[in-house]
Amino acid sequence: MERTILHLDLDTFFVSVERLVNTSLVGKPVIVGGMSDRGVVSTCSYEARRFGVHSAMPMRMARQLCSQAVFIRGDMELYSRYSRLLTDIIADRAPVYEKMSIDEHYLDLTGMDRFHDCQLWSHELRQKIIHETGLPISFGLSENKTVAKIATGQAKPNGELEVPIPYINSFLDPLSVQKIPMVGEKTYALLHSMGVEKIGTLSRLPPLAMERAMGKHGLD
């Protein structure tokens, strides 16, 4: 049986919650994280990202790149409350789900296509989440977690994307290997040094070559 995996990910979750509480933040560059110079960025709005700000960046650097941003320490209790609301909505409708983080879930919809159009079901669930939480959320739908998660990234912000099995290769091949979950800066630098920048190029490398270059991680 072909698997069907749905990946749901709230968009700039902390920022989106802050904008629900304070609508004056809508449209402005917003950065949430530790307020000291030693602090790091937890998340930031798309407006801040245009200045080069990103998650896990030192707050000092974020201030230099986007001094006009609104900086917020964050409220984990508030974010957790919205996260539980999201999970409750999913748990009420999904046959099997896995909560990966405060803002991210995987749903196994395998077999549901005998009774429902999985893309339509996923769309209706997403609309229900938006209606009941007020938060933007994106999803990717495909045959496994990796492709579904990459599809979600391509669907953002606040979108949805299904990648049917026959189209997986044509979807993945032109994308940067940086789109692959868990490919960080060091792994990307190594792959780049090997002449590998696109997922299509990576897919044509012999597994043995990847193992020699990166050990077990390369095989994975």
Query: What pLDDT, in 10s, does the model give residues 118-129?
Result: 999 999 999 999
Give the Cα separation of 207 and 159 in Å (integer).
34
Pairing mode, strands 30-33 and 97-101: unpaired
Burial classification of residue 77, based on how many CB atoms lie within 10 Å of its CB (0-12 exposed, 13-18 middle, 19 or more buried)? exposed
Residue 1 binned pLDDT confidence (cut-offs 50, 70, 90): low
Residue 56, SS3 per DSSP: coil
Q: Are 147 and 162 in contact (CB under 8 A)?
A: no
Q: Is the pTM of this model over 0.85?
A: yes
CA 198 and chain centroid, separation: 19
104 has catalytic annotation: yes
Query: Is the pLDDT higher at 209 or at 14?
Result: 14
Across the range 92-99, mean pLDDT stands at: 93
Give the Cα separation of 168 and 25 in Å (integer).
38
Residues 138-168: tens digit of each pLDDT: 999 999 999 999 999 999 999 999 999 999 9
Report whether pLDDT(88) > 80: yes
* Mean pLDDT over the full length of the chain: 94
Three-state SS letters, 163-178: CCHHHHHHHHCCCEHH
Task: Name the active-site residue from 98, 104, 124, 197.
Answer: 104
Report whether pLDDT(185) > 70: yes
Indicate the Cα dihedral angle 144, 145, 149, 152, nearest 10°. Answer: 50
